[in-house]
A = this chain, B = another copy of it.
Amino acid sequence: MAEESSSSQYLVPPHTVSVNFPPHRPFGKVFKSSVKEALFPDDPFRGFKRRRGQSSTSTSTTSRGRNTTFINALKYFFPIADWASNYSLNLFKYDLLSGITIACLAVPQGISYANLAKLPPVIGLYSSFVPPLVYAIFGSSKDLAVGTVAAASLLSASMLGEKVDVAQDPDLYLHLFYTTTLFIGIFQLALGIFRLGILVDFLSHSTILGFMGGTAILITLQQLKPFFGLKKFTSKTDIISVLHAIFSQTSQWRWESATMGIVILIVLTSTQYLRKKKPSLFWVSAITPMVVVVVTGVIAYLIDGEKHGIQIVGPHKKGLNPISVKYFVFDPKYIWTAIKVGLITGMICLTEGIAIGRVFAGIKNYQTDGNKEMVAFGLMNLVGACTSCYFTTGPFSKTAVNFNAGCKTPMSNVVMSFCLMLVLLFLAPFFQHTPLVALATIIMSAMFGLIKYKQIYNLFKVDKFDFVICMAAMLGVVLISMDMGIIISVGISIIRALLYLARPGIAKLGKISDTVLYRDVEQYPESIDVPNMLVITLGSPIYFANAGYMRERIGRYIDEEIENGDITSGNELQYLVLDLSGVSSIDKTGIEMFKEVHRITTRKDIKLVLTNPQMELTEKFKASKLLDVIGKEWIFLSVAEAVSSCRFMIHESQCEKPTTIG
């Protein structure tokens, strides 16, 4: 018989190793290792312990060992201790230059974003003074420049604005902002301490991309109010309300303001273009906003701009941040709003800050620690909330400038902070003449870069579902509101994840000629079916949400195989081989599924064979007695070995009962 002779191709040499069913691990041990894997995937104290071990081998006295341990712990909890101990004048030269550069950006950005958040402009300056100092002590990124961010400012303003009308009660509004910042700090610190960085993972790349793009459109539209010198405006943020508010009052448009705006926009855009062409001239685009603020401020002062339709920022107080602890609002009427806004904004700030820190750390080849960053952000906002600041994080624009200016350590944040102190002490009153239109154009020109057409198109090409998630965030933000945009997008992401869980990969395998490999027959059409056997690989994990599906799908494969099998040629299905290599986890419902599949195959006179179960599976197979049901001898280390053994047995049975063949 041709089949018999060809069956030798399935034989693999037998070996002594079989599937390992490790002894029962006590629950405490398993639980400890899962918690460790879930919350400490980076094993933070590893390096710390190692250094301790090394130092104790190199020194014979225990006291010195303890000392080193203490220093290592200090360095772990206060990253400043790590870099400050080796700090030199040479490094300081770089940090001084970059610190001054980002300070030039911090002043106009601080005022602009405070304006976006409907806060007094000086709050924006305060926010660039204290938080950077805190970050310099606790932060693990060497490039991150601390500051306020546009998207989160607008989001909080629109959410808090629903509760308190800023025009009617500006003090309450401001105090609510401090309270929100306090909760952001508490929330971020808690996430860091309890090592829940895992939560940040649920804001996907696609959600962020869509949210940033949508927000950029929204913020640009918002800037049309000062751009055209309008006095009345809508408090809503959706695109329809905003466009209606602008075009319903074309008669109120002020050409003086718009002209100034267009000129500034041209200047800013051309310096940005220059920077793209000649990266060494980055400093030109970095200081342009400051120059714009100063020049337009002088012009507005000289021509008495306010009388000519050019609105200005308004009075500024001199002096450093006052303490704001007494202003926290714990009134039950407002506190829940503050907590809600704190949670959402805190999450967005964290994601942005951590992602940006990671990007630049990647370029310079060092690691930032997500959980440490959370602690740093949390402390920075906690201290900020107590010193009249509103929330800060690591904005992309400032961090990129800081990086380009050649910063070496978080000392550049300290330099920036020192510059801001000087501004607050001596120059603050000068900025009262800054025209609003100058701030509006500075914000607008920063926003254009946030709509990443190319990346969105790339998303469309690579993964349609990711594109939908991205567009949901973008359109949600533009058409409904910022918080709804995020919620819808994250909701879709989670549904996708659950859908994925409900329909894990499952494929039929065929043998690739001249190898011992078994691969997906759809992907490798040249692979060949094994006679009398059906080899299926299961995806991971096998859970209550997909156990039913798996059973149906396996049943369908069996039915198809039986239908296609030509019984006359002795090619009926005798063995079902389930490859478990990819299954890393299983639950009770999954185990029940295997029992049911075993019942089905037994009834159809097909032998169920399993291959390569992973550790968790072997443990649960044992505990649930599934092992006894299937039989340990029917569980193999690899598909090749299972096929080889089954072929051997088929051959044996054919030799025993020659009458059934002939």
Contacts and interface: CB of A to CB of B under 8 A. Distances in A.
A461 interface: yes
Contacts of A27: 464
Contacts of A499: 38, 198
Dominant SS at the A interface? helix
- Among A50, A549, A584, the one with the most B-chain Cβ atoms within 10 Å of its Cβ is A584
Interface string A55-99: 000000000000000000000000000000000000000000000
A89 to B, nearest CB: 29
A169 interface: no
Interface residues of A, number: 100
A432 interface: no
Contact of A584 (B22, B458, B582): B582
B588 A466 contact: yes
A167 interface: no
A29 to B, nearest CB: 12
Interface stretch (A132-140, A143-151, A211-219, A589-597): A589-597
B519 A612 contact: yes
Interface string A208-226: 0000000000000000000
Interface in A187-212: 197-198, 200-207
Contact of A505 (B205, B494, B614): B614
A599 B362 contact: yes
Contacts of A549: 41, 198, 201
Contact of A206 (B502, B524, B589): B589
Nearest to A21: B523
Interface in A516-552: 516-517, 519-520, 522-524, 526, 539-541, 543-549, 552
Nearest to A618: B523
Contacts of A201: 502, 544-549
A504 B497 CA distance: 13
A17 B206 CA distance: 36
A367 interface: yes
A31 interface: yes
A612 B519 CA distance: 9
Contact of A17 (B207, B526, B553): B526
26 contacts: A15-B514, A17-B513, A22-B523, A34-B503, A38-B499, A38-B502, A41-B549, A42-B555, A198-B502, A198-B549, A201-B547, A201-B548, A202-B502, A203-B544, A204-B587, A204-B589, A205-B589, A206-B544, A207-B544, A466-B588, A494-B498, A497-B543, A504-B540, A505-B585, A517-B637, A522-B615
Pairs A-B, 6 closest by C-beta atoms = A505-B584, A582-B582, A204-B544, A205-B589, A466-B588, A523-B615
Given A27-B464, A500-B501, A582-B582, 7 more contacts: A197-B548, A365-B603, A493-B545, A507-B614, A523-B615, A540-B582, A581-B582
